[in-house]
Amino acid sequence: MSDIGQSVNQFIVETQRTHSSAADDLTGLLNDVISACKKIANLVNRSSILGLEGYASSNNVQGEHQKKLDILTNDVMVEHLNWTGHLAAMVSEEIDDVITISEDYPKGKYLLCFDPLDGSSNVDINLSVGTIFSVLRCPEGIETPSHEHFLQKGTEQVCAGFCVYGPSTMLILTTGFGVNGFTLDREVGEFMLTHPNMQIPEDTSEFAINMSNQRFWEPPVKRYIDECIQGVDGEREKNFNMRWNASMVAEVYRILTRGGIFMYPLDSRIAKQGGKLRLLYEANPMSFIIEQAGGVSSTGRERIMEIQPESIHQRVPVFLGSKNEVERVVSYHK
């Protein structure tokens, strides 16, 4: 077991030594991603000073109005990772097409999917936001990856992680050997191991969902939430607390530290688009992390990481967190 206070770089190197499947260039890629996240943390922290609050004049590929920081943090990720030689290509929530690696730079054997600033609507009100990323292997023999090469099931992920830019900046990371949390020590500029071997309790009395969408939910979700709200007077015979931050990274971090269930279900308004959250750079990486910490992640009808993606911006419903509560919601869907 790794020591508290160990730097993330030392942790990654020692993990590589212990598990022969971890390659040197994955270590380099992770260090590049972490470096980009440090810069994003600084931009978020100084956004008011730098005049980066508010909306830009553009929409992203999903037609959502972009924050200024959505665009800038996407640029940070691309600029930090384009030239390093560890990636064959990237996809981002903010960009319609595959982000290719310039012909001027060497190409690596990995693909990166990322959401540069999850929960960006929270920036202007000083609440937690974050960055989510997922690493896939580029198929052998492919020098210029296209959409189809990113359409891998979540079970094929090599690594997944996210940063939370809150009261402290946290990095959560899995390479398939458990989940570990690191806190950014700003005095030395390093992420230090503070939360080793994170585990999610199987039971919980806390749920997170956007209640303003209640009238659009499917019957199984309405049933589950009604039971939670009825508390000790209802079928469950215990009280529940509700949380909602409008930031997936904040919700998942809370679940990793004390348990809970996070839900963004299908509803009648978004049924045609398949859900709200994006499979490749939100649902899959978070599902990988949740499962590695002993939790469960599902659409309500199937395990998220077993979905065969059909497009790089595909959306899905998401239920994830403490095992027994997620399985209860799944049973209601059945």
* Known binding positions for Mg(2+): 93, 115, 117-118, 282
Find all residues with CB under 8 Å of 125, minimum gap 6, and list them. Answer: none
- Provide the angle, in degrees to the nearest 10, between the axes of the packed helices 284-292 and 248-258: 10
Q: Which two tokens stand for residue 129?
A: 């936001």
Binding-site sequence positions for substrate: 118-121, 210, 276
- Pick the closest to residue 211 from 286, 278, 267 (CA basis): 267
Residues facing residue 263 across a β-bridge? 319
Binding-site sequence positions: 93, 115, 117-121, 210, 276, 282
- Pick the closest to residue 162 from 75, 86, 249, 77 (CA basis): 249
Collapsing DSSP states into helix, strand and coil, what is residue 270?
Answer: coil
158 with 135: CB under 8 angstroms? Answer: yes
230 with 265: CB under 8 angstroms? Answer: no
Q: Exposed (0-12), middle (13-18) or buried (19+): which is 73, by Cβ within 10 Å?
A: buried
- In the chain the beta strands, taken as DSSP E runs, fall at 55-59, 65-67, 87-92, 99-100, 110-118, 129-137, 159-165, 169-174, 180-185, 190-195, 206-208, 241-243, 261-264, 277-278, 296-298, 315-316, 318-321
DSSP state of 48: H
Q: Which two tokens stand for residue 188?
A: 């030395």
Distance, C-alpha 321 to centroid of its chain: 13
